Amino acid sequence: MRKFLTWFPAAAFLGMAILIISKTVKVPVWIAYMCMSLAVIISPIVKKILLGLGIGKRRVRNLRACISILLIASTFLINSSKLPIWNENGDGVELSQLEEPVSVREKGKTEETNRVSGSKYNADIHKGVSAVREGISDRIDAFVDEAAAAVDEVDAGNEESEEESADQQEHLREVTLVRVVDGDTLIVDCDGDQVRVRLLEVDTPESVHVDSSRNNEYGTMASDFTKLYLKNKTTLYLSYDEEKEDLYGRTLAYVWMSKDVNIENREDIETYMLNAILIKEGMARVTVYAPNDHYQNIMEELQQKAQEDRVGLWKYDEYWKITQNIQEDEMTP
């Protein structure tokens, strides 16, 4: 055993020498290991051969020391070398890789697999993002097209509305207010002629009837309202229904405070038509004589709201009774 330990450095050196050779010659590593084992076995024989050659023991010890130094140096060089060593599969690997634990090699494989998988995942994400961007771009284009079509439609509708409004304005007759007769009757100047205008679809209580018994305070209140409302109005506009005159020769009309109106628009009707304003403010009741009934539905809705809110004359119970009596008389043949 002592002899084995003595010559083991020399045997190991021989094995390392074979490893160095295997780095440049395609010799499998297992052959190098076998040669190293063989060197260990024959080391005693080498010693006898050296002694038989007349080399003294002292020289043999010196040779062994030199061999040990060379072993250390060669081992350092081999460990720091990046040259490949050929394994049993004929694959070139570094010496440091021969000593790597299995876990380290598996970790390397896992990292490589993750890198490949990550690259594929990133590629899939890139494809997905590209698809999403293309989808969003398509949706934006579609939205822009729809918006453009909607704008064109609105423009066309505005043009039609403007044309319709222009046509309606042509049907509005401009007149000049002369005076207010009572709540639902006016005198206007039309092309130099004074014309008595009776408001369509409304009826206010009497205030200047030739039969004074038919006049009442509610009629005076309605007349004052109309006068006050038209106090600063000089120019008015008339629109007509099916009949332009009644049996008494009065002009039947809807009276507007502005020419820039849509005579079919509910908001314009409630804001600019005197007939509707009287109903809305509770200063008149709805009275319709066919075929002049163009705004009947709107008028009745406005009257119902005024009655519910008890505005204007509807706040007085006596006015309710007078109105009811008038309606009964109108229904009597």
Residue 52: predicted pLDDT: 74
Mean pLDDT of 186-214: 95
Q: What is the average pLDDT value for the chain, to the nearest integer? A: 76
Q: Helix axis angle, 57-80 relative to 2-24, nearest 10°?
A: 40
pLDDT band at residue 275 under the 50/70/90 scheme: very high
Stronger pLDDT, 321 or 151, i.e. the higher one: 321
User: Catalytic pick from 173, 198, 201, 285?
Assistant: 198
Residue 157: predicted pLDDT: 59
Residue 59: predicted pLDDT: 72
Determine whether 206 is an active site residue.
yes
Residue 203: predicted pLDDT: 96
238 close to 217: Cβ distance less than 8 angstroms: no
Over 70: is that where the pLDDT of 103 sits?
no
Residue 271: predicted pLDDT: 96
Over 70: is that where the pLDDT of 220 sits?
yes
Over 50: is that where the pLDDT of 97 sits?
no
Mean pLDDT of 73-94: 49
Residue 167: predicted pLDDT: 56
> By mean pLDDT, which of 61-65, 186-190, 233-237, 304-308 is the weakest?
61-65
Over 70: is that where the pLDDT of 285 sits?
yes
Angle (CA) 146 152 154, round 5°? 100
Closest CA to 287 of 219, 200, 205: 200
Give per-residue pLDDT as tens, 114-168: 565 556 555 655 666 566 556 656 665 675 577 567 656 656 655 555 555 555 5
Q: Own/partner pairs for 163-168, CB < 8 Å, 24+ apart? A: 164/262, 165/260, 165/261, 165/262, 168/239, 168/261, 168/262, 168/263, 168/264
Dihedral of CA atoms 135, 138, 140, 145 in degrees, nearest 10, equals -160
User: Catalytic pick from 173, 201, 206, 285?
Assistant: 206
Residue 96: predicted pLDDT: 45
Over 50: is that where the pLDDT of 90 sits?
no
Q: CA 140 to CA 14: how far, in whole Å?
A: 78
Residue 22: predicted pLDDT: 57
User: Catalytic pick from 64, 250, 270, 281?
Assistant: 250
Over 60: is that where the pLDDT of 193 sits?
yes
Query: pTM for the full model?
Result: 0.52
pLDDT band at residue 272 under the 50/70/90 scheme: very high
Q: CA 199 to CA 225: how far, in whole Å?
A: 15
Give per-residue pLDDT as tens, 45-59: 766 776 777 776 677
